[in-house]
Amino acid sequence: MEEKINLENIKKKLKGNWEPVDIAKIDDYRIKAYVAEGEYPDMHIHNKDKLFFVMEGDLEVIFEDHSVKLKENEGYVVKAGEKHKSKSSKNSVIMVIEHKNFMQINV
C-alpha cells in the first residue's frame, strides 16, 4: 500500500540545496521535491516540459528575455527547449513533475 504524501514528511527527506528527492511515480511521470535558496548556477534547457510548483517560499524562473515570479501555492510549466534558470530569495520547497525520460542540458 502506498503511503500518503505529506508536506512535513517530504521536508524531512530533503537534503541539500537544489538536490531533488523522489516523492512518487505516476505512469510515465516522476514527482520530486527540492529545497531552493539563492540562484541555480547554470542556464539550461529540458528535453521535455517540466512543472514547477512552490509549496513553501518563492521561485523566480528566469528566461533570456523575461522572468516568471511564483509565490507559495503557484506553479508554472517550462516548455521543452526554453532556456532558463531559477532563483529563490529564501529557503523554499519546490515540487516538480517531469517525464521519466526527462533530461537537463546546460547551455
Tens digits of residue pLDDT in 19-42:
999 999 999 999 999 999 999 999
Domain boundaries, the chain: 7-106
State whether the Cα torsion 18-50-102-4 is positive or negative: positive
CA 70 from chain center: how many Å?
12
Task: For the domain covering 7-106, report its CATH number.
Answer: 2.60.120.10
Rg (CA), the chain: 13
For residues 11 and 23, is the Cβ–Cβ distance under 8 A?
A: no
| Distance separating alpha carbons of residues 12 and 106, to the nearest angstrom | 29
Confidence band for 4, pLDDT divided at 50, 70 and 90? confident
1 has a pLDDT exceeding 90: no
Better-scored residue on pLDDT, 46 or 4: 46
State the pLDDT at residue 2. Answer: 67
